[in-house]
Amino acid sequence: MTDENIAVLQAEANEFSNTFKAVREEIGKVIVGQERVVEAALTAIICGGNVLLEGVPGLGKTELIKAMSQVLDLEFRRIQFTPDLMPADIIGTNMMQPDEKGRYQFEFRKGPIFTQLLLADEINRATPKTQSALLETMQEGTVTTAGTIHSLEQPFFVMATQNPLEQEGTYPLPEAQLDRFLFKVDVPFVSLAELNDIVNRTILKQKIEVNKILSGPQIMHLRTVLNKVVVADPMRDFACRLVLATHPETEFSPEGVKKFIRWGASPRAAQALIRAARVRALSAGRVHVSFDDIKYFADEVLKHRTLLNYDGQAENVSVGDLIDECVSVLPEQAA
């Protein structure tokens, strides 16, 4: 890479950093606290991933994606997942319609999935058959019905929410669908100061104006900038070794993983670590990925892709603690 190319990329990184901060600040006008959740959601949409949020109701998950749709100037729709929801209610269906000559033919009526920002609210309250309707869309950005492939407008982003599995009326998401989510983020309860701020805003009915910072074409341009960020061989190797560390049969796994993990993260996890690291590097105004960038979103990338064995479930072991052990024990440089 020439000095001129490096200078151009550095200028793009500085612009990216300023834009990323401006979007975060604008969303912060609406969302009180939850900085990590906001950062994860923005990181995912910029690098073309999806996010699964887990938390009790009322923590602002719907307001977050509404604010994102306004700040990013993208179309937003919400699907409330319920046990009686069917796949056709999401993707659409073929209906018989008469033409100008009175002859009937099939016409595809698009479902609510044909949007740009989709909130799949309480996704684990629907049956697995309905949950699987999102699989193709989340991975390929397309919908196939009756042999016809329909492409969705890009950028397309799914933010799904789920209630903790201990609550009544929930179905666990299948592993294949969990793997389609770039991040799984646990939404914590707010602090006392944040709760006071939320109550104060809602009681006073303060009108909050948010400004448009980006648009769909601009987001697609930012994705092209991501591809220019330098990922040195040691960084890529560390991301791959970190994924392998979640597999109990490999030489990289620590004792906790060998004892309590049944199955580790998939190859998509390594891709996700690097994609997220590139966004974090650019948001800091850097044109290269560091080890800290790889580690930063390790919990959100690996936790939902790692399955406990029977002993781990019986002892109520935290998968997050095992991921932290992998990050802390694994050496940055390969032996």
CATH of the domain at 54: 3.40.50.300
pLDDT at position 169:
60
Question: Into how many domains does the chain fold?
Answer: 2
Residue pLDDT, tens place only, 308-330:
889 888 988 889 899 999 999 98
Q: Look up the domain containing 322 and give its range.
A: 229-335
**Contact indicator for 113, 137 with CB cutoff of 8 Å:** yes
74 token code pair: 């993208």
Residues 209-225 pLDDT 10s: 788 888 888 888 888 88
52 with 174, same domain? yes
Distance, CA of 262 to CA of 314 (rounded, Å): 13
Same domain, 5 and 121: yes
Same domain, 247 and 107: no
State the burial class of residue 94 (Cβ atoms within 10 Å of its Cβ: 0-12, 13-18, 19+): middle
Angle at 292 between CA 138 and CA 312, to 5 degrees: 65
What global pTM score does this model have? 0.86
Beta pairing partners, 120: 79, 160
Please report, as a single letter, which amino acid is at residue 205.
Answer: K
Nearest to 55 by CA among 190, 195, 157, 199: 190
Secondary element (H or E) of residue 161: strand 157-162
Over the chain (335 residues), the average pLDDT of each successive run of 10 is 72 87 87 84 89 79 84 88 84 76 76 87 82 80 79 86 66 81 86 80 73 87 87 92 92 89 91 93 90 92 91 89 91 76
Same domain, 204 and 107: yes
**Residue 171 near residue 131 (C-beta atoms within 8 A):** yes
Residue 261 is classified by DSSP as E
Give residue 168's pLDDT: 57
Are 213 and 301 within one domain? no
Task: Kindly report the CATH number assigned to the domain that includes residue 272.
Answer: 1.10.8.80
Q: Indicate the helix (H) or strand (E) that contains 53.
A: strand 51-54
